[in-house]
Amino acid sequence: MADYTPIAEIPKILNELRTTFQSGKTRPLEWRKQQLRQLARFAQENVEPIAECLRLDLGKPRLEVLVGEIAPIVQRCLHVADNLDEWAKPEVAPVHDWQAGWKARTERHPKGVALVISPWNYPMILSMQPVYGAIAAGCCVALKVSEVSSHFASFVAANLTKYLDPSAFRVILGGVPEITKILELKWDHIFYTGNGKVGRIIAAAAAKHLTPITLELGGKSPAIVDATADIPVTARRILFGKCTNAGQICVAPDYILAEESIVKPLVEALKQRLTEMFPEGALASASISRIVSDAHFARLKALLSSTKGKIVAGGNWDTEPGKRGFEPTVVVDVKDGDSLLSEELFGPILPIVTVRNLDEAIAFVNSRDHPLTLYAFSNNPENKAKILSSTMSGGVNFNDTVAQLSLDDVPFGGVGESGYGRQVCRYGFEDFSYLRPVIDVPYEEEKFNGARYAPFTPEAEAFFAAGINVEIPR
């Protein structure tokens, strides 16, 4: 990995970015659109080196890099650039008749210098998605790339500012000492993607400066399967979400809640689909990522080794040092309190919890932290409506997994333990900007103003009392 950013340089980087922001350079919409197009070029012109970095860091298949990392950045940067004029228009505010001449409006203004702290599992899109939101809003950005995906981090540090204006955008490399220094400083917005434990540390540091923050966290996203579900298609779609990036994705289906009448056919469908996906075996397949580090690999092995459930598919891993392949593994008879239900798995292990009915599944979900995404497989509209009205989650996806990430014009984010704030296209632009109400009261309009000045008179009191003495519907 390239050398870490010297700690003494980090405050200088912030000061340089703040100087740029205060100069007004980032405010013109045309400048923002040009930077968005440059970020699209960065992704478009560096497909091969980015794919190679992610192969080295994660063993990530090239197809997953193209579909999940690079293409969305190219397309969304251009989408945001094309729509920015419309999104940034001031919104005329409705007013009372006596305020008609005030030119009341709401404008969106950039928050200032933003800090983006990105994770290792989807290092391209989860770095650049908040960055393009900040660009659209007119912010400067310091990007702290995860040191875990070291090849990608080095590449971004060496190449991103060949495309983006280096006076407005900087990359910081480092580990705990560097991020500790970063969090001592006052930023104007912090965007963090990762886990709740670190999210709390970042939120506490931000609170010292009253810095607004977006937390994009994970959690245990359940997949409810009721007795009306199409079992073969359900198995295929759940495994797609669980095997993408070897389950190292914040919206992976973490566990299944299956009605007892369909557990057996669901298990058989999952086993059949795994054979179809990896005919040569997952450990020999180039179509599934590897676990990112020895520490994460050891964690997954320990979780699987300590489960009291029964492994019915998979269960093996690479024994050769450094390879870190892990078979997609289905585990049944998993009970509340099991090791596989204790933390977000973030790997290709799929526990199945048997429930008697939908009500029990909903109660199970509601007894835990609100998930980032709730998956539910059903052909029953009443069951779908009940799930929506009886649970809380960042998002809901019926009858598929991960597909919600492909949508450009819906917000993405969590609730409660799964985070707060929203991103993707317009919602990223809004996240890094703030609403600024503006009025311009003409000097000649003194009917209202005349009534508010002392000395107060009965006529003035009657003028304002008219707003109180109104009929209130019962």
Q: Which amino acid is at 97?
A: D
Supply the DSSP symbol for 403. Answer: G
Contact 270, 330 (CB under 8 A): yes
Active site residues: 216, 250
Q: How far is it, in rounded angstroms, from Cα 126 to Cα 167? A: 22
Q: What is the total residue count of the chain?
A: 474
**CB-based contacts of 432: which residues, under 8 Å, 6+ apart?**
110, 111, 114, 130, 133, 134, 136, 137, 139, 189, 191
Q: How far is it, in rounded angstroms, from Cα 431 to Cα 254? A: 28
- How many other β-carbons are positioned within 10 Å of the β-carbon of residue 440? 9
Identify the residue whose tokens are 């020999």: 284
Supply the DSSP symbol for 62. Answer: H
Distance of CA 159 to the CA centre of its chain: 24
DSSP, collapsed to helix, strand or coil, labels residue 269 as: helix
Encoded tokens for 292: 């990112």
Q: Which amino acid is at 261?
A: S
Helix axes 71-87, 29-45, angle to 10 degrees: 170
